[in-house]
Amino acid sequence: MEILFEDNHLIAVNKSNTDIVQVDKTGDLSLEDKVKLYIKEKYNKPGDVFLGVAHRIDRPVSGAVLFARTSKALLRLNEMFQKKEVKKIYWAIVKEKPRETSETLKHYIVRNQIKNKSFANDKDVKDSKEASLTYNLIASAENYYLLEIDLHTGRHHQIRCQLAKIGCPIKGDLKYGFPRSNPDGGISLHSRKIEFIHPVTKQQITIVAHPPKDALWDYFLNLVK
């Protein structure tokens, strides 16, 4: 487990695309539990360790995840996420080149709980929630393209379904129309950067996570350094 940032109030880790942030019906050991164990062992803490989950990313997605180490920090972080005071940047690898090199996408997303899938609509429909993101094409390979995404809202599977809606499903994302899975079972979507004002110290914090070790990710990383 790679620690990206740590102080008395917050801790951020680079999630693998096999970890789940919180325990679900699979019963697999969650990233939350792994971080609690890390804190307990590092600081020799007796009893239960407090750890607040401020946000989540999907299981097959890799990258930066931020946790709160105190209830005070969690309360303030939750408010910051609600007020959109936390900037979240993602990288996505797609096979189809988007129509525009830069565009803001606005859709109305409906979540299907049974299928655990979201659907993007061009117009407001029943039970939909507005979703917005801006993507920029930042690098190209022979068969793939790297998009940098500024996420404005935090809807269920938002990036995955919005990119699929414009004909650019994410590499490895079978659920949203990519024809083949990735060898590791994850998808090529990565939480690259989180920027915010620290809820307690008020310092500017920028957390950057390296993508998974993979030939294509390594190629793109060398291009955009």
CATH for the 2-224 domain, from 3.20.20.80, 3.30.2350.10, 3.40.50.300, 3.40.630.10: 3.30.2350.10
- Residue 84: predicted pLDDT: 93
According to DSSP, the residues that pair with 57 across neighbouring strands are none
Q: How is the chain split into domains, by residue range? A: 2-224
- Residue 182: predicted pLDDT: 96
- Residue 73: predicted pLDDT: 97
- Residue 206: predicted pLDDT: 98
- Residue 27: predicted pLDDT: 73
In this prediction, the residues of the chain whose per-residue pLDDT falls under 70 are 25
Q: Say if residues 217 and 189 touch (Cβ distance below 8 Å).
A: no
- Residue 47: predicted pLDDT: 87
- Residue 22: predicted pLDDT: 85
What does the DSSP assignment read for 123-146? S--TT-EEEEEEEEEEEE-SS-EE
- Residue 225: predicted pLDDT: 74
- Residue 176: predicted pLDDT: 98
- d(CA 178, CA 189) in angstroms, rounded, equals 13
The model's pLDDT over 36-72, given as tens digits with 9 standing for 90+, comes to 999 999 999 888 999 999 999 999 999 999 999 999 9
Measure Cα distances from 98 to 15, 106, 139 in Å: 27, 15, 12
Cβ neighbours, 10 Å, residue 219: 14
